[in-house]
Amino acid sequence: MVRRTKEDAQKTRELLIEAAERVFYEKGVSRTSLNDIAQAADVTRGAIYWHFKNKHDVFEAIMERLQTPLELLHEAIENSNEPDPLGRLREFLIYLTREMMRDPRRRRVYEIIFMKCEMTEENEPLAARHRQNFLDSSIRIQTVLVNARSHGQLPADIDIGQAIIHLHVQLTGLIYLWLLLPDVFDFETESERVINAYFYSLQHSFSA
């Protein structure tokens, strides 16, 4: 069955990406063949090679669709006269973790990144994106924390660099352990606890 219009073609492209997500999730990236993806999307490899260059290109397309929802954080950054930047940061983190629970697609893609693909040099672009995400969000978090400090929400002598890394450590550890032990680990409960502990230590144990 041949897709005809441009919209139909776009639809099969989407179908292929979703199918690839599922198969990558099930079999891991390197053990899935383009044929696996094609079958899961109910087309042939011809369709894949029409829309994508190769398997790696499909993988990048998956990543492309997954942008972190930083809008909430964005608000708290732009207006530096936001009265409660720290509260906004907390809202954002809660939102992030809830989104992680709620959106199965996001969960799948994160699990692919963390557990079902190999960060070798041939898909260095993925690792680079991963790292860039870390650096970008670090800048934004920094802005929030600086605002919070100037609003008196944080100790004047706080080591903001340390606080940023510490936050990343919390989130990364949370996600990884949850993906490793989904049934030992109640993500919603633990993430809330970890976030609370983080905000507590922000006040007390990050002085420079």
Partner DNA sequence: ATATACATACATTCGTGTATGTATGTATAG
Partner DNA sequence: CTATACATACATACACGAATGTATGTATAT
Residue 45 or 129 having the CB closest to DNA: 45
Query: Judged by CB under 7 A, does residue 20 bind DNA?
Result: no
Provide, for the chain, the percentages of residues in helix, strand and coil under a 3-state DSSP scheme, each rounded to the nearest 5.
75, 0, 25
Query: Judged by CB under 8 A, does residue 50 bind a second copy?
Result: no
Q: Which stretch binds DNA (CB under 7 A): 41-49, 77-85, 125-133, 193-201?
A: 41-49
Report the amino acid identity of residue 101.
Answer: M
Interface residues for a second copy in 90-149 (CB under 8 A)?
Answer: 115-120, 122, 127, 130-131, 134-135
| DSSP-based three-state secondary structure for 158 | strand
| DSSP-based three-state secondary structure for 20 | helix
Query: Judged by CB under 8 A, does residue 192 bind a second copy?
Result: no
Query: Judged by CB under 7 A, does residue 55 bind DNA?
Result: yes
Longest distance between any two alpha carbons in the chain, whole Å? 66
CA dist., res. 177 & res. 31, Å (int):
24
Q: Which stretch binds DNA (CB under 7 A): 47-55, 83-91, 143-151, 162-170?
A: 47-55
- Name residue, tokens 């978090």: 141
Contact yes or no for 108/25 (Cβ under 8 A): yes
Query: Judged by CB under 7 A, does residue 34 bind DNA?
Result: yes
Binding residues vs DNA (CB under 7 A)? 1-6, 8-9, 12-13, 33-35, 38, 43-47, 49-51, 54-55
